[in-house]
Amino acid sequence: MKKPLKSWLLASSVAALLAAPAVSTANSDLEKLTQNPANWASWGGDYAGTRYSKLSEINATNVKNLQPAWSFSTGVLRGHEGGPLVVNDVLYIHTPFPNTVYAIDQKTQSVIWEFTPTQDADVTIPVMCCDTVNRGLAYGDGKIFLQQSDTVLTALDAKTGKRVWSVQNGDPKLGMTNTSAPLVVKDKVLTGISGGEFGVRGFLAAYNINTGELAWKGYSMGPDKDTLIDAKKTTTWKDGKVAPVGENSSISTWQGDQWKIGGGTTWGWTSYDPKLNLIYYGSGNPSTWNPVQRPGDNKWSMSLWARDADTGAVKWVYQMTPHDEWDFDGINETVLVDQEVKGQMHKTIVHFDRNGFGYTLDRETGELLVAEKFDKSVNWATHVDMKTGRPQVVSKYSTEQNGEDVNTQGVCPAALGSKNQQPVSYSPQTGLFYISGNHLCMDYEPFEVSYTAGQPYVGATLTMMPAGADVMTGKPDGTTNLGQFTAYDAKTGKIVWSNKEQFSVWSGSVATAGGVVFYGTLEGYLKAVDAKTGKELYKFKTPSGIIGNVNTWEYNGKQYVGVLSGIGGWAGIGIAAGLDTGEANSNSEGLGAVGAYRSLSSFTKLGGTLTVFTLPSN
């Protein structure tokens, strides 16, 4: 006898619910944690990567009274990127190599547990580009996830620090390393790979949070079966509309099999839209830095991706800088906000690229809505053609047209971008994005290079210098500031205000309901500015230069602000790795950064410290 339809549906629903918790619990748990502003449970504060806090105890009126509450030495030198996680009153911090993790009791500021993985420094450190940084931890399903430098992804019990499982995500002997912060989505933890300067082919991988088993892996370039692109269903922006990418859209833009060593690595940040069940991220520069050796658009390096969280299948992909000639890496964070653009509401994705353009797209379809410069000194392209989506390159600054062994001078921005990996913040109060930026130009000389597995595959010599132009207008003004902190309207592509900084702002910011935005400087200052006007309201000098991201949370009814200081990263590599010899011929060391930041050593020195701030008690 057949069951009545109603009974069958009820039985099926119950069965589904019984089967679902393993898939949905981690996801719903993390969502609940991020909705409570007392926590800071993921790199971006929430799945959308807004880095916005609803906390308002610290506000534009009283932030001037902010004081250090306590500090903690990490015991590790080199650059401290990323920021602290706070989950159910426990604070978790990380270090650069050797990637020690600390769980800290906020009441006593004592260490609950610590974990230091075993890694081969002789193998891993030599193939880590631009310092031995790590960009942070992830939390989900009662576990802390650490992406080790040697590519091993490790799950730790959040209460005890004991290793639950670990999995090898790549091979350091081939130049593969990892610096990114993972992200937990449903029953999976997502991570990428580093090593574009060693000819590593980039990918995003999803591992089961309970077992470490690989669920799916999608490459940045290669045949459709590798990229998880469907030639008919996956779309891109072309001819003023979204259209199918076509069969093997990647390998048709590479010469021969060069896509196999094509770069497009994924060492940045990942965002997630639970309603659309799509994850978003950017892929990096193509290998080598010498564009003459890799004719074609080199898809899908330098691209924004929307993938199905369950399968990795690509919904849409958009290439920002086809055939990148300047190392304008595309891994910067993607922020998901709903905005009205040109009179119509859109679920948007906003991305500020190293190439100096801020992109606003519809995150459901991949439609290009806005593409404008967020630093007007950018000169390598005049604008982005909104119909084709392609930047209009200025011949004078084309390193390919000028040729190998020719020094192309005065390209703006420099290779480290108008903004590097340091994530922006967004305030729904003002509708503005707050950009920690660089303000540099460069000379770029490509040369022929051959590929050898595990050896540098760069093929260009760079030197960098101040842009010497106004951020708002692009007109030469003779200034020597290497950075700025900028407020930008992604609905219109307009710069609202911009504050000059002596050195690059390499710290991720946080915006709050108190009308304040916090960020750190390379000299070591924690700064607070008015979200509407940019007026500086507070600053405090921490023990070392700040390249970490400022986070905020609540404990025992009080709002706290915390940041890791510890100079390093690409901008501080001269200090961190001891590359600054003081000689003129060392200007191109550190992939061009040493010369531009030589004076930084007069303002700060090495040392890793977490500094926590709060308002004084009444």
DSSP state of 194: B
Alpha carbon distances (Å) from 614 to 64, 281, 553, 611: 11, 33, 10, 10
Residue 280 contacts by C-beta under 8 Å, 6 or more apart in sequence?
A: 270, 271, 272, 273, 304, 305, 306, 307, 334, 336, 349, 363
* Cα atoms found within 13 Å of the Cα of residue 269, Cβ hemisphere only: 32
For the chain, give me the number of helices (H) and strands (E)?
7, 40
- The alpha carbon of residue 359 and the mean position of all alpha carbons in its chain are separated, in whole angstroms, by 15
Strand (E) positions, 332-431?
A: 335-341, 344-352, 357-362, 368-373, 381-384, 391-393, 408-411, 425-427
Percent helix, strand and coil across the chain, each to the nearest 5: 15, 35, 50
DSSP letter at 274 equals T
Question: How far is Cα 147 from Cα 169, in angstroms, rounded to an integer?
Answer: 9
Which residues have a Cβ under 8 Å from the Cβ of 373 and sit 6 or more positions away? 356, 357, 358, 418, 474
Tokens of 247: 């069969």
Query: In angstroms, rounded to a whole number, what is the distance separating the alpha carbons of residues 352 and 340?
Result: 18
**What DSSP assignment string belongs to 410-433?**
EESS-TT-SS-SSPPEEETTTTEE
For residue 421, which of 296, 603, 270 has the smallest C-alpha distance? Answer: 270
Give the relative orientation of helices 5-19 and 21-35 as an angle to the nearest 10 degrees.
Answer: 70
| DSSP conformational letter for 9 | H
- In angstroms, the Cα distances linking 385 to 97, 316, 369, 372, 417 are 42, 19, 11, 10, 20
226, 327, 353, 443: which one is catalytic?
Answer: 327
Q: Is 29 an active-site residue?
A: no
How many CB atoms sit inside 10 A of residue 261's CB?
Answer: 22
| Structure tokens, 210 | 């309970």
Is residue 185 a contact partner of residue 279, using CB atoms and an 8 Å limit?
yes
Distances (CA, A) of 107 to 71, 112, 418: 13, 11, 40
CA–CA dist 200, 587 (Å, integer): 27
Report the alpha-carbon distance of residue 584 to residue 176 in Å, rounded: 32
Residues labelled catalytic: 327
